[in-house]
A and B are shown apart, each in its own frame.
Chain A
Amino acid sequence: MGMTSAQKRGFGATLWDWLTTVDHKKIGILYMAGGGFFFLMGGLEAVIIRIQLMSPENNFISAGLYNEMITMHGTTMIFLAAMPILLGLMNFIMPLQIGARDVAFPFLNSLGFWLFLFGGVLLNLSWFTGAPDAGWTNYAPLSIQSPGHGIDFYIMGLQLSGAGTLMGGINFIVTIVLMRAPGMTYMRMPLFTWTTFVASILILFAFPALTVGLFLMMFDRMFGSAFFDAALGGNAVIWQHLFWIFGHPEVYILILPVFGVFSEVFPTFAKKRLFGYTAMVFATFLIAFLGFMVWAHHMFTVGLGPVANSIFAVATMAIAVPTGIKIFNWLFTLWGGSIKINSAMLWALAFIPSFTIGGMTGVMLASAVADYQYHDTYFVIGHFHYVIVGGTVFGILSGLHYWWPKMFGKYLHEGLGQLSFWTFFVGFHLTFFIQHFLGLMGMPRRYWVFLENQGLDTGNLISSIGAFFMSFGVIVFLINIILTTIKGKKAPRDAWGSGRTLEWSISSPPVHYNYKQLPLVRGLDPLWIEKMEGNKNMTPAEPVDEIHMPNGSILPLIITIGMTIASYGFIYQTGNKLWLIAVYSGMAIALISMLTRSLKDDHGHHIPKEELERIGD
């Protein structure tokens, strides 16, 4: 597809193609590129934090800048790095796995991406005038009191990218419900599709809570309302509830898709079907369901009372059960398999012990009484980095190595892949394992400095050294991408030779309409079934006929630009009412483009049968 023909078209045309694309594969790549960029930003912030904490009473950065650094590190990594990269993988892979030619709402898909990107850029523009500094949780009343416009950037930036994510979630749900290929029943869907589905449901139900929370925060900071103002009867705990009603499902939004990734990687490289498929699906739903009822475990020390604390403690511990089911199912998938170790598999294998440690400390934290001891210490930092790095980041890297040949038609270099794995893996444990003990020794989180000779010096030094190992691993991974893009080994359609699911039945990278003929799915792991019966490829479910595809559009980008201008206006209109011009003109741009979209009929286009027959597949 694209790549070769795009190069012939020249730079301007290629750029225009990417700006107007509604192709789920290109949008997926855009998501991953955007998320990757913010991942580097967040990583840089992390390194700065670790340099500051390398030695006692260090003076590398000022206390105020340190607050900005931790806030931006957390916010960037969660909202702008981990989630978009996952959305990118889902966008690229899920439609291929269910045998669809695109997502249900291609236009909305593009709009969602641009909203995320501009939201992220807006948030990061705050570095020039003062970044948000109330922590990624942005608790009131600290966030209400914070001077300057940092928090306002946080509010508007997250509002924009949150709206984009919500659109993505709705889109994926409709795609999975309505666009499965003939024969692809729910219980034949690959696990990655299942976890995409469940994570999308979580997005659907969790993000509106963030939207409301951000609106209330915006009204309080910009328009003088009193939601969190105790003097006028407000209550700051409302923010905490709203934030965590969103925020806890959010961590499952981050982890469930990578559970799906591992459930694809293990069977492929163990050459064995996934153990306990039904239990895996069920456990995914159970995790999502329980994940919605445990948010108050972030608030144990607020003073909700012993009854509420106990209920949330028990619900939290219960999540360990479905997660345990999953861990055992992966182990049983490996058991007796003919295992092939490569970088994708290494990340997946390393995930199991790393994530299990994070899960164990999670159960420790779930005990409300003990949590009074752990709360706001480095123990918590250690815990959630074990689940988010040891789970989500390992999963993302495993998925990237696994699907890279499918997405770009070239393998990543195996040696470089293993080098980046080992340095990152060792660095990760160096950095975060010791932090549990620092926390237990009483080192609080979010403090700018620690004092000398309190037993914290060596631990912090080790932790910082680990951070450099991780950075090295990331740099090697970047070099790997660049080198293999220039001259990588070309990948065939079934890149690993043992692909089980539909995406391995089409060319690498796929043509822009994915399937010339929709495949007929005859069971779980449809490609594997065909291969076992001696067929080279999927049996088509339809004759070759013209294909209906959506048209590209620049409108999503223009809508987003309008909204970004309006957001900028909102941030600064508190000081100078002239900025209202930006608010209104930005809104006008967005509304006029939306109107254009709805008034102008767009029926998409058809790829004629003759062309399909000429190209082959």
Chain B
Amino acid sequence: MSHDHSIDPKNMPKDPSKATTEGKHKFMGLWIFLGGETVLFACLFGTYLALRNSNAGGPTTQELYGLGLVFLMTVLLLTSSLTSVYAIYHMKNNDFKKMQLWMGITALLGIGFLACEIYEFAHYIHGYGFTFRSSAFGSAFYALVGFHGGHVAFGLSWIITLMVRNAKRGLDLYNAPKFNTFALYWHFIDVVWVFIFTVVYLMGMVS
């Protein structure tokens, strides 16, 4: 590995995020971590599936959920997944400004998603008295969706930190892997959300 981590203009690597040993390690490490995250969410989904009808006399899933907001949230998060792909596309073309721009859009969409989620929770609590403590269903719902929301919040602080930290110095072989691992993590959050809107909201409206 060379001492100088900045990208050499004459010898631009095909994928700057995997050009260094450290970059390769980060890439592999994040994937392995996502394997563990899969099981983490699997257990939360399992708990929710077991407890979704245990509403202890409170509102049922059909009474509670509204598909409009969920659809909006889905579109926000799916789009943010695409915009992060754009960001990585510009990274591979060595265009730092555009990468920052698209990462910024990704973050904004994420913030929009999180705002919707907070509104949703507040609505359930104040409109229905449906809380973390009101029933086993409530506990399981907030645990699953809340863990996902927590992951979104963590991802947001991650990307904002990265963008601010590297705004002045531009792209190099030291920070390219960091942007790339963020993008992978962000896609995974979207994967989890696809199952949340299907298993929690859509299936909750059906049965």
Contacts and interface: CB of A to CB of B under 8 A. Distances in A.
Interface string A157-190: 0000000001001110110011000000000000
B54 A212 contact: no
A227 B1 CA distance: 51
Interface in B3-56: 3, 5, 24-25, 28-29, 32-33, 35-37, 39-40, 42-44, 46-47, 50-51, 53-56
Contacts of A208: 36-37, 39-40, 42-43
Interface in A222-245: 223-227, 229, 231-235, 238, 241-242, 245
Contacts of A231: 56
A209 interface: yes
B135 to A, nearest CB: 5
Interface residues of B, number: 38
A54 B53 CA distance: 50
B143 interface: yes
B25 A105 contact: yes
Interface string A198-236: 000000111111011101100110011111010111110
B174 interface: yes
22 contacts: A104-B25, A170-B36, A171-B29, A174-B28, A178-B25, A178-B28, A204-B32, A208-B37, A209-B39, A209-B43, A212-B40, A219-B143, A225-B133, A233-B51, A233-B53, A233-B55, A234-B54, A238-B46, A238-B51, A242-B47, A598-B161, A598-B165
A402 B25 CA distance: 31
B36 A205 contact: yes
Nearest to A598: B161
Give chain A's interface secondary structure class. Answer: helix
Given A219-B132, A223-B132, 6 more contacts: A204-B39, A213-B43, A225-B133, A229-B136, A232-B135, A242-B47
A233 B29 contact: no
Interface of B: 1, 3, 5, 24-25, 28-29, 32-33, 35-37, 39-40, 42-44, 46-47, 50-51, 53-56, 132-140, 143, 161, 165, 174
A242 B43 CA distance: 7
B44 A599 contact: no
Contact of B24 (A178, A215, A227): A178
Contacts of A606: 3
A233 B56 contact: yes
A8 interface: no
A548 interface: yes
B47 A216 contact: yes
A532 interface: no
Nearest to B2: A548
B54 A232 contact: yes
Interface of A: 104-105, 166, 169-171, 173-174, 177-178, 204-209, 211-213, 215-216, 219-220, 223-227, 229, 231-235, 238, 241-242, 245, 548, 595, 598-599, 601, 603, 606
A62 B40 CA distance: 39
Contacts of B44: 212
Contact of A595 (B32, B47, B140, B161): B161
| Most chain B C-beta atoms within 10 Å of own C-beta, residue among A105, A173, A232 | A232
A-B interface, 5 closest residue pairs, ranked by CB to CB distance from nearest: A233-B54, A225-B139, A208-B40, A212-B43, A233-B136
A226 B139 CA distance: 6
Candidate in B37, B39, B53 with the most chain A CB atoms within 10 angstroms: B39
Nearest to B39: A208
B143 A215 contact: yes
Contact of B47 (A104, A224, A227): A227
